[in-house]
Structure 1
Amino acid sequence: MLSVRPKVAELAFHVFSRSLHPELYALHQRRRVERTDYEVQVDITNCGHVVTWRGAGMTICEVATSAQQPLPKRRCLLSRPLKGSRTERAECRGGVQYKTHFQLEPVSPDMFWMVQQQLGTGQTEGLLHRFDASGRMALGALSYVNVETRRKSVLIQAIHTFPDDYAIVKVESLFSIGDNAK
């Protein structure tokens, strides 16, 4: 299956209070982590990522994808174009807190290739997927997602590169339970 990126102008960021059916996106990498108080599943998809967090009787699903991707409307907490820089948060029942900061950063070609090389050649503990080249550029895009777990929280850091546009998407999200989540 060909796995190239959409254009950065077509990107969107969504948060749901429900999980998404896996047939809605093309999966390239998956990691699942279970802790005593929560579980999290991280998927690298054809357009970005899907993070599904479950704990304290809540489900929160974060999706970075194409704006053209058909997604449900029901139980959508947040829907924004993935442009510029933005910080969002949600307080949910059961003491569940969700915080995210996402940004689309256009960079110079030199900076782009430096980031691309560092992500693609470094030893990583997170998930890494190399996409096929689009034809315009010799190298394909990369997606990297790092997962840091604590007893009551998980920090997700995602980086997605877009070679055709010399752009990098960065997302940092924190899912936590209780006021003193550590």
Structure 2
Amino acid sequence: MNPQTKSNSLQSYQTILYDRALHPELFPLRERRVVRHGAYEAELWLMPGGHLFRFEFGTMCASELVTDQEGNLPDSGVLSAFLCAGERDFEHRFPKAKAGYMTTVQTETLSENLYMATYEEMMDHAREAEAMSFAWHDSGPCLSVLDVQRYSREIHMQSYHLIAAGGVVLRTQSIFEHE
């Protein structure tokens, strides 16, 4: 695997937090799921190598977008944006709604053998957890997985995006919560 490919793959990924819903026609959706639980609603969009996680509570709406898409992204409503390379923690409060958001983003580049073992493990996890998943082939087997847990006042979502070009693994753990 070419080290330059690894670097370029990682450098294009970003996490963007919006204070609104986004439109699906801007993204290559492969699966969509809506979760209504108690006082909140969440929507998950799975895309090759990325996802969107929308949370609504009362009049508050926020969306987490993880993407390597560099152009044609909405500018309106951006609360924060950061590159995913390395490890990042981020929190944001929505005081009027008495709600909060937090995420941890981690990236790694793996050797080919370790990447394939991780790919197989994540395929098994997606099946066992009945998680959203999409597999495709691009310079090797690639996989995106979204796994969600619902609680009375919060929702947790873990994402795993495995990109064969460069052996890239991008993991996020995100929580939206309300009082």
Change (3 A) 1:128 1:67: closer
Paired residues of 1:67 and 1:81 also in contact (CA < 8 A): no
How far does residue 79 in structure 1 lie from its aligned partner after superposition? 0.9
Q: Aligned partner of 2:80: which letter?
A: L
Q: Which has the higher helix share?
A: 2
Q: What stretches of structure 2 of length at least 5 have no aligned partner?
A: 1-7
Which residue is equivalent to 2:177? 176
1:65 pairs with 56, 64, 67, which one? Answer: 67
One-letter code aligned to 1:111: L
Alignment RMSD, CA only?
1.5
Aligned-residue offset at 1:110: 2.2
Aligned match of 1:3? none
Query: Runs of 4+ in structure 1 displaced over 4 angstroms?
Result: none
Shift of 1:7: 2.9
Q: What's 1:105 paired with? A: 108
* Identity level (%): 21
Q: Which amino acid letter does the alignment assign opposite residue 171 of structure 2?
A: K
Name the counterpart of 1:116.
Answer: 119
* Preserved contact between residue 160 and residue 169 of structure 1 (Cα < 8 Å): yes
Matched residue SS, 2:30:
strand
| 8 Å CA contact retained: 2:48, 2:143 | no
Q: List aligned pairs for 1:67-106, cutoff 5 A.
A: 67-92=69-94, 93-106=96-109
- Cα separation, 1, equivalents of 2:49 and 2:116: 20
Kindly provide the CA deviation profile for residues 155-181 of structure 1, in whole angstroms up to 9, marking residues without a partner as x. Answer: 000000011111100000000002xxx
How big is the shift at 1:9?
Answer: 2.7
Q: 1:130 aligns with which of 126, 135, 138?
A: 135
Whole-angstrom CA distance in 2 between matches of 1:94 and 1:40 = 15
- Find the residue that maps to 1:141 and give its secondary structure: strand
| Matched residue, 2:144 | 143
Q: What residue in structure 2 maps to residue 156 of structure 1?
A: 157
Deviates more, 1:143-152 or 1:43-52: 43-52
In structure 2, distance between residues paired with 1:159 and 1:24: 21
CA distance in 1: counterparts of 2:162 and 2:48, whole angstroms:
12
Aligned residues: 169
Aligned partners of 1:8 and 1:162 also within 8 Å: no
| Alignment check: 8 A CA contact 2:13 2:67 kept | yes
Asked if the contact 2:48/2:134 (under 8 Å) is kept, the reply is no
Task: Determine if contact 2:17/2:65 at 8 Å carries over to the other structure.
Answer: yes
Relative to the length of structure 2, the TM-score reads 0.89
Uncovered stretches (5+) of structure 1, i.e. residues with no partner: 1-5
Q: What is the TM-score normalised by the length of structure 1?
A: 0.87
Amino acid in structure 2 at the alignment position of 1:27: L
Deviates more, 1:64-73 or 1:49-58: 64-73
Say if 1:153 and 1:176, in contact at 8 Å, map to a contact too.
yes
- Describe the SS at the equivalent of 1:114: helix
Return the offset for 1:11. Answer: 1.2
